Structure 1
Amino acid sequence: MANVKDGWRGVLNGKPEVGAFAERSRTTRMEDIQAFTAMTGDRNPVHYDEALAKKTAFGKLIVQGGVTTGILNACVAEDLPGPGTVFLNTSLDFRKAVGVGETITGRVEVASVRDDKPICQLKVSVRDSAGDICVEGTATTYTMPLEGL
């Protein structure tokens, strides 16, 4: 049998286990919309014009999708797999808009782990305080070894 290289050597949190998960919660703010607009230029009126937003199917001002999914970045980079982790791929379905002042919870769960490289397949989701799914999908991550740098 060929010798399998341990691709997780030097990774701060070590190799994660299938089924492990991490969650983070936060409450969205108007400042999130403004910061996202400053970064991207997204000034869609459904984020700024309350009178117009109330007439839409959303019925309220909503935060940009990037604000909603940003919590997943924190889950991946800070918690699981952890420091040094970046996304290689994401596939996300947006199911429910998130309004200003809503508390959301991002969750990442390890679906599979490669032995030869520090790569994981994750199930990802963002839920609102009622437990409704706002975003769900999958992600592939790569975790860079940081020990010894």
Structure 2
Amino acid sequence: MKLSDVQIGQEYAVSFTISDEMVKTFAEITGDKNPVHLDEEYAKNTRFKKRICHGMLVASMISKVLGMDFPGPGTILVRQQLSYRAPVFVGETVEVRVTVTDKKEEKQRLILQTNVFKSDGTLAIEGQAEVLVER
């Protein structure tokens, strides 16, 4: 998608289920094998009472959307700010919602709101991103 095709206020949303396999693969790739993510017995004794997904795994779904869907191939992530608001549990479905909040034509950049919602509407991750896109 070219910069000229994008309008302020435009929104794109897509849902993903964060599977057990994704969590285990992410733990292997990153080395983050914190038992709160991998061990059900351990997680039962935490404040969450069950396994939670790595925050960065869930946030990486934002990167997938930006690079492959909206704006799409060729998009370069320049800056991203994230706040984790609620845990995402293994097996949960989340919605990544990207909203264009500003365009910087001279720099070929978009400012985006990049939020992740749980299926019950709870905000799990609140984010902002700046991306470089083709004219």
Normalised by the length of structure 1, the TM-score is 0.84
Q: 2:22, 2:100 → 1: CA distance?
A: 28
Moved more, 121-130 or 77-86: 77-86
Pairing partner for 2:129 from 107, 131, 139: 139
Partner of 2:96: 106
Deviation at 1:71, TM superposition (A): 1.5
Gapped regions of structure 1 (runs ≥ 5): 1-11
Question: By percentage of residues, which structure has more helix?
Answer: 2
How far is the alpha carbon of 1:144 from its aligned partner?
4.5
Q: Residues 36 and 51 of structure 2 are in contact (CA less than 8 Å); yes or no, is this contact kept in structure 1? A: yes
Structure with larger Rg = 1
Structure 2 unaligned spans of 5+: none
**Aligned pairs (5 A) from 1:86-101:** 86-101=76-91
Moved over 6 A (4+): none
Corresponding residue to 2:40 among 40, 50, 56 = 50
- What is the CA–CA distance in structure 2 between the aligned matches of 1:100 and 1:88, rounded to whole Å? 29
For normalisation by structure 2, the TM-score amounts to: 0.92
2-side partners of 1:135 and 1:14: how far apart?
Answer: 26
Distance in 2 (CA, whole Å) between partners of 1:118 and 1:80 is 15
Distance 1:83 1:13 in 2: 10
User: 1:88, 1:139 within 8 Å by CA — same for their partners in 2?
Assistant: yes
Contact 2:2 2:133 in 1 (8 A): no
Q: Is the 8 A contact 2:19 2:90 kept in 1?
A: yes
